[in-house]
């Protein structure tokens, strides 16, 4: 008999395996039917954006693309399309559908990617993700049935704390947690986000933390007035996971006890956040500690570093580098976990390094944005989250260095063309070697990013292409020169891995836009 481990349970929550065993609609609605919109419970609506949001939710993907292209030709902005798509996604799925919340998390990266493309091609990444959004809404029959219930605004502005919200979620009190969070959201969005982190920090789950961060960052596109709607999906994600854990009899993550213990032990709430700047060697040592240690040891190491006054930005940088090491030490997907879209040896999709990198990026951003408590707590939990994963990686790096001698070109154009060939061949090692050599030559970054962006747009990436491209670019920009090029090497590896699975809807969008150029 196979032991149903905690790791497998959390994978089931993330990857939808539980859904396949009990049925998609049942899994989506566990604990929810009494909250779904109906005749006596009005629908969540979005003011002047409502007609476009309804179009995004109700139209089939084949109907949607021509309409959106027509709107673009008439002057509609990509930002507005992304805003409406995000709101349609939240109303349809409420953070409780695997493909649904992955699609939400891809929307803002797609918009950011569009800004790096020629004007004629800028709609492509956005239309690609909106097509995915529409298709999943139709598949789950959420085009005329909402997953997000209407919640009355609280009558009073009584104070509610993050600890109280956390307790409601632990008790799996859906109505109580929703009411408390609605009260919290009467104040500033940033304050609500800080209170939400008490629940987000309860489990080491990439979707939990990235969904939280992407929900907040999406407010720059949809507007602050929709903060409650977007952040609610994180509350409901946490409730859903907590309920499933209790139903299956699984113990909570040890981080629930470890985090408060470390805060007390190292007096981390008793003094201002530090600003001490770390050396390159210190960053490398902490990164290697996180990469190679147990989760408990990594959390302790980060708590000690913060207690010694090191700047949170430096500590976050070490966590990011440790996550990047998981990409560069990933032996590739094993046969027993392979699928048609994620074959043996691949490292794209929900691989250990991609997940770790996306999570580390979110933890770092939450630390930057958060209050004093979350500046500290996000990094401790982020270290705990990143560490302890050598069972899914190798102590030795992916063997691409011996391919460096094959790379003799020294000009940007030749190396970029060679990288494109390596990607088309799914040759991860050669792609890494070419980008490694390119970095050694200190050639300009943009030509390399352009080719990696091309394939991040054209390929499906098993739901992760957009997020990981943006993660790698962001982490490159916030990592010191001694270590930042590793992010681009990792991106090249993942890009070579994911080639061969064209993104659904991209060909249709290209044709509607009148684009004839090869898109990869």
Note the pLDDT tens digit of each residue in 96-130: 999 999 999 999 999 999 999 999 999 999 999 99
Q: Report the C-alpha gap between 197 and 370 in whole angstroms.
A: 9
Q: Report the C-alpha gap between 498 and 343 in whole angstroms.
A: 9
Burial of 411: CB neighbours in 10 Å, binned 0-12, 13-18, 19+: exposed
Q: Are the C-beta atoms of 508 and 131 separated by less than 8 Å?
A: yes
Task: Pick out the chain residues at pLDDT < 70.
Answer: 1-41, 156-157, 517-520
The count of other CB atoms within 10 Å of the CB of residue 404 is 15
Q: Report the C-alpha gap between 283 and 458 in whole angstroms.
A: 35
pLDDT of the residue at 153: 75
Q: Are the C-beta atoms of 210 and 105 separated by less than 8 Å?
A: yes
The count of other CB atoms within 10 Å of the CB of residue 20 is 11
Q: Report the C-alpha gap between 213 and 369 in whole angstroms.
A: 10
147: phi then psi, degrees, rounded to nearest 5: -95, -15
Q: Are the C-beta atoms of 308 and 274 separated by less than 8 Å?
A: yes
Q: Are the C-beta atoms of 4 and 13 separated by less than 8 Å?
A: no
Long-range contacts of 212-215 (CB under 8 A, 24+ apart): 212/362, 212/366, 213/361, 213/362, 213/365, 213/366, 214/104, 214/105, 214/108, 214/362, 215/104
pLDDT of the residue at 154: 78
The residue count for the chain = 520
Place of tokens 């790791």: 7
Q: Report the C-alpha gap between 83 and 87 in whole angstroms.
A: 6
pLDDT of the residue at 128: 97
Instruction: Map out the domains of the chain as residue ranges.
Output: 1-253, 265-392, 401-506
Rounded to the nearest 10°, the torsion over CA 326, 328, 330, 332 is 140
Say which DSSP state 68 is in. H
Reference 178, options 255, 251, 217, 235; nearest CA is: 235
The count of other CB atoms within 10 Å of the CB of residue 33 is 9
Q: Are the C-beta atoms of 414 and 398 separated by less than 8 Å?
A: no
Classified as helix, coil or strand, 459 is strand
Question: What Rg, from alpha-carbon coordinates, does the chain have?
Answer: 22
pLDDT of the residue at 519: 63
pLDDT of the residue at 31: 33
- Alpha carbon of 498 to those of 28, 53, 225, 341, 464: distances in Å? 28, 31, 37, 8, 10
In the chain, the largest separation of any two C-alpha atoms, in whole Å, equals 70
pLDDT of the residue at 433: 98
Reference 491, options 479, 503, 505; nearest CA is: 479
401-506 — its CATH code?
1.20.272
Residue 108 structure tokens: 């803002």
Classified as helix, coil or strand, 502 is strand
CA angle 145/151/153 to nearest 5° reads 150
Q: 502 forms bridges with which residues in the sheet?
A: 459
């Amino acid at each position: 008999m196979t032991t149903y481990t905690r790791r497998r349970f959390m994978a089931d929550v993330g990857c939808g395996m539980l859904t396949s065993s009990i049925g998609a609609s049942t899994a989506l609605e566990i604990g929810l039917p009494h909250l779904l919109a109906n005749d006596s419970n009005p629908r969540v609506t979005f003011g002047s954006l409502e007609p476009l949001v309804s179009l995004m939710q109700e139209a089939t993907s084949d109907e949607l693309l021509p309409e959106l292209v027509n709107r673009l030709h008439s002057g509609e902005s990509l930002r507005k399309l992304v805003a409406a798509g995000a709101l349609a996604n939240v109303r349809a799925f409420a953070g409780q559908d695997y493909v649904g919340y992955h699609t939400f998390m891809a929307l803002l990266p797609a918009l950011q990617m569009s800004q790096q493309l020629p004007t004629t091609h800028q709609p492509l990444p956005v239309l690609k993700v909106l097509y995915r959004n529409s298709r999943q809404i139709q598949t789950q029959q959420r085009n005329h049935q909402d997953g997000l219930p209407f919640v009355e605004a609280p009558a009073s502005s009584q104070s509610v704390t993050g600890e109280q919200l956390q307790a409601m979620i632990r008790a799996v009190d859906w109505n109580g947690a929703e009411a408390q969070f609605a009260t919290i959201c009467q104040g500033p969005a940033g304050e609500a986000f800080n209170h939400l982190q008490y629940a987000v920090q309860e489990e080491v789950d990439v979707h939990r933390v990235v969904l939280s961060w992407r929900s907040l960052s999406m407010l720059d596109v949809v507007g602050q007035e929709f903060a409650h709607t977007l952040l609610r999906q994180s509350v409901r994600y946490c409730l859903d996971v907590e309920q499933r854990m209790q139903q299956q009899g699984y113990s909570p993550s040890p981080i629930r006890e470890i985090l408060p213990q470390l805060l007390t032990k190292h007096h981390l709430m008793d003094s201002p956040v530090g600003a001490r700047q770390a050396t390159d060697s210190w960053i490398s040592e902490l990164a290697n500690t996180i990469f190679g240690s147990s989760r408990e040891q990594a959390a302790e190491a980060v708590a000690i570093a913060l207690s010694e006054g090191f700047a949170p930005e430096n500590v976050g940088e070490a966590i990011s580098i440790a996550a990047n090491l998981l990409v560069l030490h990933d032996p590739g997907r094993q046969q027993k976990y392979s699928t048609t879209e994620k074959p043996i040896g691949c490292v794209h999709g929900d691989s250990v390094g991609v997940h770790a990198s996306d999570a580390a990026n979110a933890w770092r951003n939450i630390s930057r944005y958060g209050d004093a408590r979350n500046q500290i707590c996000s990094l401790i939990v982020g270290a705990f989250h990143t560490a302890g994963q050598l069972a899914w990686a190798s102590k030795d790096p992916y063997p691409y260095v011996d391919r460096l001698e094959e790379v003799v070109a020294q000009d940007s154009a030749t190396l970029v063309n060679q990288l494109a060939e390596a990607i088309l061949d799914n040759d991860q090692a050669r792609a890494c070697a070419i980008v490694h050599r390119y970095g050694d030559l200190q050639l300009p970054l943009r030509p390399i990013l352009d080719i990696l962006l091309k394939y991040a747009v054209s390929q499906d990436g098993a739901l992760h292409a957009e997020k990981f491209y943006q993660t790698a670019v962001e982490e490159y920009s916030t990592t010191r020169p001694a270590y930042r090029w590793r992010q681009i090497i990792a991106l090249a590896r993942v890009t070579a891995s994911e080639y061969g699975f064209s993104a659904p809807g991209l060909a249709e969008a290209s044709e509607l836009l009148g684009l004839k150029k090869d898109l990869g």
